[in-house]
Amino acid sequence: MRATVLYGPRDIRFEDREDPKIEKPTDAILRLAATCVCGSDLWPYRGIQKIAQPTPMGHEYCGVVEEVGSAVKTVKPGQFVIGSFCISDNTCPNCRSGYQSGCQNLEFMSRAQAPVLRVPLADGTLVGTPDKPSDQIISSLLAVSDVFGTGWFAADAANVKPGATAVVVGDGAVGLLGVLSAKLMGAERIIIMSRHEKRQRLAKEFGATDIVTERGEEGVARIKDLTNGIGADSVLECVGTEESMVQAIQSTRPGGSVGYVGVPHGMKLDVWPIFFKLVHLHGGPAPVRRYLPELIKLVWDGKAEPGKVFDLVLPLEQVAEGYRAMDERRAIKTLLQP
Ligand SMILES: [Zn+2]
Ligand SMILES: [Zn+2]
């Protein structure tokens, strides 16, 4: 098969690689229906996160099981499945408490920007759909694999409750799906911080009620204006820079919660100002596995269409253009069709 490999800054190649095969009895092999480029793929793509050798890319996936190892019990060949970017056994104490992204046997998926994929710990990682999905919902099912699951975790970690005021920092695919998640969890007011017109439109479609274009201290001042000087109940940090994290914490009311899912880069936090803010901080790599059944159901029942974040669809072999379009912010998120 041919698959995606990153060689160095902005050097994505689609090249011959060995077909994946069952290596352990707990593995499954999937024929992917769709895969995509993640905002987090741009860190190594831009050379900000160094790679030591050519690295196979991709961690968001859904597709049909082709083959399973002898120990796999819950998924069968022919079944359509979705998995998280975190490989987990779903049986250890951390998984049982709902933190599969802290699994004692955790691995991070890579190699998913390919037509065929090996998934370790298939029983713990994969969840099947009720039936064969229609082509129209494939993009939304793919979004569950990471961006929707991560946006959902941001909202959950930020303790969004019915009637709450939520602020979303970041207008990437995760931030936009954080808006959708907050809406589905019953937030009454959802403020997104965004300067990008196309993304603002999609945020409104997903349920945003207000848009703040200011950043930093000015942005915080606008949030205070919109919340009677108090700050928001729930703030979703979906960027991962120090500026966005400080903005999130400063926008939260005393006793409110920040859910942070932006992968931190160059972030140093001064605890002194946070101490006096009295905020809850919870975040990290999303335990998407916990939410898979619920989010698959929302998509299946037509109650959520997170696939709308894919505004560029390309054949997998044009993956390099998919990265370029996101790097240059021409696309929010690129879906790749094997
Ligand atoms: Zn991702
Ligand atoms: Zn586990």
Q: What is residue 128's predicted lDDT score, i.e. its pLDDT?
A: 98
Residues 274, 293 within the same domain: no
Last residue of a domain, one of 283, 311, 328: 283
Number of domains comprising the chain:
2
The whole model's pTM is what? 0.97
**Distance (Å, whole) CA 3 – CA 56:** 8
Residue 223, domain extent: 148-283
**Distance (Å, whole) CA 3 – CA 5:** 7
162 C-alpha to ligand 1 centroid (Å): 28
Residues 227, 127 within the same domain: no
The amino acid at residue 302 is G
Residues 64, 160 within the same domain: no
Q: What is the CATH number of the domain that holds 169?
A: 3.40.50.720
Ligand approaching nearest to the C-alpha of 38: 1
Residues 203, 326 within the same domain: no
**Distance (Å, whole) CA 56 – CA 33:** 19
Dihedral angle, C-alpha 88, 89, 92, 95, nearest 10 °: 40
Ligand approaching nearest to the C-alpha of 35: 1
Protein residues with C-beta less than 5 angstroms from the ion ligand 2: 88-89, 92, 95, 103
Ligand approaching nearest to the C-alpha of 60: 1
140 C-alpha to ligand 1 centroid (Å): 14
66 C-alpha to ligand 1 centroid (Å): 24
Residues 158, 175 within the same domain: yes
Protein residues with C-beta less than 5 angstroms from the ion ligand 1: 38, 146
Residues 245, 307 within the same domain: no
Q: At 9, is the secondary structure helix, strand, or coil?
A: coil
Ligand approaching nearest to the C-alpha of 91: 2
Residues 25, 135 within the same domain: yes
Residues 140, 12 within the same domain: yes
Residues 133, 155 within the same domain: no
Residues 186, 310 within the same domain: no
99 C-alpha to ligand 2 centroid (Å): 8
Q: What is residue 86's predicted lDDT score, i.e. its pLDDT?
A: 97
Q: What is residue 182's predicted lDDT score, i.e. its pLDDT?
A: 98
End-to-end CA distance of the chain: 10
Ligand approaching nearest to the C-alpha of 36: 1
Q: What is residue 270's predicted lDDT score, i.e. its pLDDT?
A: 86
Q: Which two tokens stand for residue 252?
A: 């939260």
Q: What is residue 146's predicted lDDT score, i.e. its pLDDT?
A: 97
Ligand approaching nearest to the C-alpha of 85: 1
Q: What is the CATH number of the domain that holds 317?
A: 3.90.180.10
102 C-alpha to ligand 2 centroid (Å): 7
Q: What is residue 212's predicted lDDT score, i.e. its pLDDT?
A: 97
Residues 136, 165 within the same domain: no
Regions of the chain short of the pLDDT cut 50: none
Residues 140, 157 within the same domain: no
